[in-house]
Structure 1
């Protein structure tokens, strides 16, 4: 009994003398890590959202023939100014209508994205002959286009083409990858506050 009482007394005295410091330590750790933790969590959420967007774009590209195109010139201004990115969907030529803004692929040349001004029949049932004009141009394009399918513009976002192009730069990709790695390591790194909490719980 005397030994048990002595041990209990020692434990009670240790808890009484060390409890304030032990309780203050986790609080200090929480205060120091609060802002950093919030910023880190925000970074992880942003990275997760960006990853989700990429996954959705891949799924749409495969399942619905939806892709992105960038506008380097202002031939479609002011509707779609230079530096815009448009979301386009490939459709059969039979679904086109006059007034649609579409992208036509050309052999050995860059695609052209203009507004349809007329549609005529082609040599086959699936083929159409169209004329187009940029909104900023006074005249139609100098020659018609024979198409069986086009990419119709669903909507556009101005001013983000340069950012998307920049994402393809190896230095940018490397920086983003390194940043994401640091965020993941930081998120799962053991916290000193957890050890202090376990020590306090063991003494009480």
Structure 2
């Protein structure tokens, strides 16, 4: 009874006497390692994006960018904060929250006072930026706010640049080239012929 011959068993056999050794250019190995590293980085980036989308829909977690330094030094200008939407009833004095304003950009400041609103779910809150000398001019009536979980300084410019159509197009083309290059068959590979 003969044993099955597989490609793996053929590769593991010693080459015939006088046969040239399989081509293994030292230049190809670092290139292959670089391709693998870049593919892993792209895969991790993709997983992070998927996790962020899931968190945005299930837990109300999103990102906000700080253009001004009104929350310095706690959150300097150019920071990105991770925020989560919570009911206004859960807000406490001292929390840093983002309040949406109709027709204007949202404001992110620290809560200084909380007063019950017209309903059980409503609160009237007063905010003040850590770098500001006075409280915001008007209180905000809210039923929910986005509370700041944590912030990362200095990456807002990177995220804004990623939104540029030319940058997005370049990243897409580079990713496509990387995937094609990593999985393209190599001419230098030895082709084994399966026995009939």
- TM-score bucket of the superposed structures, by smaller chain: 0.7 to 0.9
Superimposed CA distance per residue, residues 113-135 of structure 1 (whole angstroms, 9 cap, x where no aligned partner): 00000000111111101101000
Instruction: Quote the residue 2:34 is aligned against.
Output: 39
When the two structures are aligned, how many residues end up with a matched partner?
A: 180
Runs of 4+ in 1 over 2 A off after TM superposition: 196-199
Instruction: Quote the residue 1:162 is aligned against.
Output: 157
Contact 1:26 1:197 in 2 (8 A): no
1:70 aligns with 2:51: no
Alignment RMSD: 1.5
Instruction: Quote the residue 1:198 is aligned against.
Output: 192
**Structure 2 length as normaliser, TM-score?**
0.88
- Provide structure 2 residue ranges, at least 5 long, that are not aligned to the other structure: 1-15
**Which has the larger Rg?**
1
Superimposed CA distance per residue, residues 92-146 of structure 1 (whole angstroms, 9 cap, x where no aligned partner): 0000000000000001011000000000011111110110100001111111111
Contact 1:119 1:128 in 2 (8 A): yes
1:90 aligns with 2:85: yes
1:59 aligns with 2:66: no
1:26 aligns with 2:23: yes
- Provide structure 1 residue ranges, at least 5 long, that are not aligned to the other structure: 1-14
Superimposed CA distance per residue, residues 20-66 of structure 1 (whole angstroms, 9 cap, x where no aligned partner): xx20x4233xx121111011111111111111110000000000000
Instruction: Quote the residue 1:11 is aligned against.
Output: none
